Structure formats: structure tokens, C-alpha cells
Amino acid sequence: MTVRLTRRAFVGAAVAAPAVAALPISLQSVGAQDAGFTVTMVTDTAGLGDQNFNDLANAGGTQAAEDFGIEWKVLESVDIPAYVPNLTAGVEQGPLTVAVGFLLTDAVAQVAAQYPDAHFAIIDAAVEADNVQSVLYREQEAAFLGGVAAGLMTQTNKLGIIGGQRIPPVIRYEVGFRAGVEAVNPDAEIVIAYADDFGDPDKGKELALAQFADGADILFPIAGLTGVGAYSAISELNNPGEQWVIGVDVTQEHNAPGFEAFVVRKGVDTGVYQAIEQEVNGTFTAGVHSLGIAEGGVGFEDPNGRVPAEIMTEVETFQSMILDGSLVAPSTDEEYEVFEVPAAG
């Protein structure tokens, strides 16, 4: 599905569930074998190797295992029906189970109700339960800054967004980016395509090639492993300095050296690490934990110095407005529709 947007135009994108396959469970384990307890992570269907969301969560857990001497296990969910048995297996392993992704929301609610004495942390979703910590990110803040940079860097005045599924965290990325572009370049066109899948890099490459062919020169892939396909596309086209991909969640410069404009960072690893640290210290708290720029949960990064200095100045100005509360980046379609950039000064 592809949508063309300029300023306030908006067309909703359909969401389709991933295909259901068999029900095997993949297990990986790191950390001290004589640890006092085990923490288990349950991936979404993209699994490890997505070079993005699940891998970031795993990095946070692996670091926590090294720092705190706990054992860290990963259960990969190859399909949606694997969520509940994987979460249940996590409960049987130790006191804390980490669920990675919005798509595990219902499964976490179900298993948490069945095991009220166990602790759960879910990344990117909110589950109301006394034993669930919901780690949410204000992706819209970092995405807004990314939109500012992209809106000023574009040479064709056309930008592309490639989404996985249009779920709340992806929506926050999308509308934040669109608002940032509009704040500095209201005449820019944004083309949006959804793959309806977070684990299909071939589909991501197909969508990216189509957007580049249509004249977009900077792509924002918010699609997990599917988004890696944008790097394959830009490498194949090989137009250095003319076409760019934005790193999302973490840099993926290694996938297309020289073609990553900048990074819209999301500290999935930080959220996982902090949840484990609380469990270790006996300070685990349920409820919503919201991480934005102020908390170091999200941010704008230019690791390779490809953003011109004058554009970085604009990004920093808008970041200061977000931090002082004078600018609240939109996080929903409804907020985007009424969003206005506050007057300077």
C-alpha cells in the first residue's frame, strides 16, 4: 500500500497480521550458569538477526547478564501462536520475562494474569497489570528531529517512509517525522508504503526501489528487518550523495556504507537493561515507563557527520523546544491534524 502526502493530506494504511506457520521455539542463552536467577526475553516474529528491534533488546539483556551475573535466555517466536507458550516458558525459567514488541500485548496480558507473582516487562506496549512494566518510547520526538533534517536535506523535495505494520509505535515514528518535515519544508511530498510485515527485507527492498524511482531521495524505514531492504536497494542503485536512508532505532551503516544520512535512535536496549537492573535490585515497578529525549530513550544522531552544520543548528533548536516543553511532537493521527509549530522566541 502506498500513500502520497503533502501537508495535511492523510490516508490510513491497512494493517495485516503476519502469516501463521508452525510452532517451533528457538532458544539462546548467555550469562553465568550459576546465577541467582534467569531473565528470559521473548522476541516478536521477526526474531533475532533483524539488525534492529529484537537485536537491540538482546544487546541490552546481554549487557545486563555481564554486569549483574544473571542468566539471559532468548526465546524466538517464529509465529504469533508461539507468544503464549514462550512467555509461559519464560515464567518457568525465572522471575522476569521481557516481551519485545507491541504485537505481544494480548499474550502478555493473558500470561501475566495467569502468573500474578511473576514479573513482566513489555517493550512498546502498555498492559495494565500489577506485575507488568510497560516500557514506552516517545519515538515522535526523535522522528520529528529526523523530519526536520530530512526536510532540509532533500534535493528532490520528495521523501519516502516505509513502514512494517501501522501499530502505535510505528505511527508515532510516522507522524512525528511528517510533522518535522512540515515544520521546515511544508511543500515537500512524502510517499508512504506499508509492507504489513516486519520480517521481509525483500519486500522492503521492493518498496524502497519504487520510492527511489518515484523521485524520493531520502527514505525513513520504520519496519524492522523489512527496513533492511532499503539498504539493499540504495546499495544497488549506488548514487552516493544523491540518495539516502535514515537509520532507525540504531545505525545500520554497515549495510550500505556511505548511504546512511543520520540515525533516529531508540534505546530498546536501555529499556531492557533498566528493567533487569530493577529486578536485580528489588526495585521492579509496574506501570508505564515513558522514555523520550529527556530520559535518553530516543534521540537524533549524526555519527558520520553527514548533516550540514546549518541543518544541525536547526535540529538542535527544535530539540531545545522539545526539551523545554514549548513543542510537543504529535504522536497520533489526530494530534498531527491539529499540530502547529510554535512561534520562535
Q: Where are the domains of the chain?
A: 2-14+139-266+297-338, 25-137+268-291
Confidence grade of residue 7 (pLDDT, cut at 50, 70, 90)? very low
Place of cell 528470559: 40
Element of type H or E holding 260: strand 260-266
DSSP letter for 211, please. Answer: H
For residue range 222-266, list pLDDT tens digits in order. Answer: 999 999 999 999 999 999 999 999 999 999 999 999 999 999 999
Confidence of residue 344 (pLDDT cuts 50, 70, 90): low
Say what the pLDDT of residue 99 is: 98
pTM of this structure: 0.86
Superfamily of domain 25-137+268-291: Response regulator (3.40.50.2300)
CATH of segment(s) 2-14+139-266+297-338: 3.40.50.2300
Comparing CA positions, the residue from 272, 283, 232 lying closest to residue 98 is 272
Query: Which pLDDT score, from 0 to 100, does residue 51 have?
Result: 86
State the average pLDDT over residues 19-33: 41
Give residue 5's pLDDT.
42
Q: What residues contact residue 284 under an 8 Å CB cut-off, 6+ apart?
A: 96, 119, 133, 275, 278
Residue 41 predicted with pLDDT over 50? yes
pLDDT in tens, 125-151: 999 999 999 999 999 999 999 999 999
Q: What is the mean pLDDT of residues 94-99?
A: 98
pLDDT tens digits for 48-74?
A: 998 888 999 999 999 999 999 999 999
Question: Could you give the percent of the chain with pLDDT greater than 90?
Answer: 86
